Homo-oligomer: A and B are copies of this chain.
Amino acid sequence: MSEQTPSPYFDRRGLIFVLSSPSGAGKTTISRELLRLDDNLVMSVSTTTRPKRAGETEGVDYNFVDEKTFTRLTKDGAFLEHAHVFEYFYGTPRGPVEKALSEGTDVLFDIDWQGTQQLASDKNMGADLVSVFILPPSTEELESRLHRRARDPDDVVRQRMEKASDEMSHFPEYGYVIVNDDVEQSVGRVQAILEAERSRRSRLIGLHEFVQDLRGID
């Protein structure tokens, strides 16, 4: 279904595709599926001060840096957005995203409301932003999903529920909202949003010239 190849008729600037949701609403599964199904979508690699976990690869899962380096990069304006989540810092390097967008590749962001606000207020990126908020179908479902991560102690779960509530309070800042009660259906909806936004007139480059040609006007 998705438009996997660039249009043969005109160019298009890539778009910034933001998915936000409270933890436990299924966003990670949806993101992974979306990336698997769509050849023109990439996920930006974040920079973090969090220690590398077993199985993670530097430069693929994250760029791992120490706090001093992270602070310097922040001061240099090297991040499109950055956040402090629990005890660690996370940031999105600006360079690779700008390169992808200028080549017509869409970039997926799995970030919270604070990151989304930073992107939306960026003077270069605001117009490229498409934001989707994913809600759980019910509080019971959200709680149950958070408890399924059995290794987390109770206070972490409570903290997550509070963070989830805080995150959800920001839904009005998003362009689209979906309720994830069925992963397959949710993936289809998110794909439809991505595909629709690719046909938005304001993103198409060279459309005026294409139509002038059709009308036989030199």
Contacts and interface: CB of A to CB of B under 8 A. Distances in A.
Interface in A158-209: 165, 168-169, 171-172, 174-179, 188-189, 191-193, 195-197, 199-201, 204, 207-208
Interface string A131-154: 011011111001000000000000
B214 A142 contact: yes
9 contacts: A135-B214, A139-B214, A142-B214, A172-B201, A174-B201, A175-B201, A176-B196, A177-B201, A189-B195
Interface stretch (A1-9, A38-46, A105-113, A118-126): A1-9
B177 A204 contact: yes
Contact of A196 (B133, B165, B197): B197
A51 interface: no
A215 interface: yes
Given A3-B189, A169-B215, 5 more contacts: A1-B1, A135-B211, A136-B214, A193-B196, A196-B196
Contacts of A138: 214
Nearest to A22: B214
Interface residues of A, number: 43
A84 to B, nearest CB: 23
B165 A216 contact: yes
B189 A193 contact: no
A213 interface: yes
Contacts of A137: 9
Contact of A188 (B1, B7, B132, B174): B1
- A-B residue pairs, 10 tightest by C-beta: A196-B196, A192-B195, A192-B192, A193-B196, A165-B215, A176-B199, A177-B201, A192-B196, A9-B179, A178-B199
A184 to B, nearest CB: 11
A88 interface: no
Nearest to A139: B214
A179 B136 contact: no
Contacts of A169: 211, 215
B211 A171 contact: yes
